[in-house]
Every structure is written in C-alpha cells, then in structure tokens.
Amino acid sequence: MKTSQLIAISSFFTSLTFLGAQLALYVGPVPITFQTFFVILSGLIGGARIGLVSQLLYLILGLFGLPVFAGFRGGLTVFMGPTAGYLFSFPIASAAAGLIFHPSKNKIMLQGLLACIISEILVYGVGVPWIIYWLSNFGGIYIFDAFSSAILMGALIFLPGDALKIILILYLLNRKDIQHLIIRIRAS
C-alpha cells in the first residue's frame, strides 16, 4: 500500500472515531460513546496497519489539543483523566481486530465475532484498571470501592451498547459490498 493511501484511509477512520466520540451519553466519569464501533471497524476493514495508524493519529491529534475526544475535549489533561485507559487501548484493539480478521477466508462471521470480542476485552483490559487507579488516586475513593465502582461504571454499563455495536459490525461484515471493500483496501 502506498503511503498516501495509508494516510488517506487512516485519516478517514480517525475522522469516524472523532465523530463516534461526539455521540456521547454521560452516565459517569466515562461516557458511553460510539467510538469503539469505529475503533474495531478500522481494524476489520483496513487491517492491523490501518487500524493502528488511524487510532494513533486520533490520539496524537487529541494530545496536541485538537478537540477530538468526547465532549469536544483535547489536550494532555484528557490523558490524565478517567478515560485515558480506554483511549490508550484503541490502537491495540484496532490492530488486534485487523490481525484476527481475514476477509479472504470462509468463516467471516466467526472471525468477525472473535475479533470484536477480543478487541472489546482489550479495551476493558486497559480501561478498567486505569479507572480503578484514577478513582483511588484522584477520585478520593478507597481501592476496594474504586474496584467495584470501576467494574460498574467502567465495564458493566457498557456491555449492552457494546453488544449492539458488535451486532451492527457483524451485519456490515455480512454485506457483500463491505466484503469487497475490505478486500480492495487490504489488497492495495
């Protein structure tokens, strides 16, 4: 793939992740957003490299202060807040989805489901420990209470929405036009 194509496709997924961040429902220190939908989709459609680059670009833009995160926020303070762990997991989760999913093989739905589940586990695996740390050090909550609060506010509350996102992703992966798009992007 040419560098210009890599940048263009990655930038497209960066933009989608930004838009997904603005579809937010504030229910606690970590809002429910549509970001992970595009994080996972960037890896599934573009492969590991595009997924990784698109999400790293997203984080870099936010680090430099562009208001790309939920609530049109950006800057270093976001990386010190309760959502930082989730944000740091995005490049890892997207790349993992791209590594797991291979569109040319027969079991597209099974691979897609596996990629989505592992990507979500990675997001929670980085996000929840960070929110435990954040709550116990900056939220004034004892570690045991921080642990139970983080499980509730940082994982359980997201499960129904994440299940719906996975269903929507699997629907898209089952479409022939999307399958052809994935093969074209990954072949270039």
105 vs 116: CA distance, rounded Å: 17
Alpha carbons 130 and 100: distance in angstroms, whole number: 25
Residues 112-134, mean pLDDT to the nearest whole number:
97
For residues 56-63, average pLDDT: 98
157 touches 28 (CB < 8 A): yes
Grade residue 163 by pLDDT with cuts at 50, 70 and 90: very high
Mean pLDDT across 88-105? 93
pLDDT at position 177: 92
At residue 25, what are phi and psi to the nearest 5 degrees? -120, 115
Q: What is the mean pLDDT of residues 21-45?
A: 95
- Tabulate helix, strand, coil % of the chain (nearest 5): 75, 0, 20
Say if residue 16's pLDDT is above 70: yes
Chain segment 133-158, per-residue pLDDT in tens: 999 998 888 988 999 999 999 999 99
For 3-187, CATH gives 1.10.1760.20
Residue 140 pLDDT: 85
Mean pLDDT of 50-67: 98
Q: What is the rounded average pLDDT of the residues 70-94?
A: 97
**Model pLDDT, residue 105:** 67
What is the C-alpha to C-alpha distance for residues 88 and 130, in angstroms, rounded to an integer?
Answer: 10
pTM above 0.85, yes or no: yes
Tokens 């609060």 correspond to what residue?
149
Mean pLDDT of the residues in the chain: 94
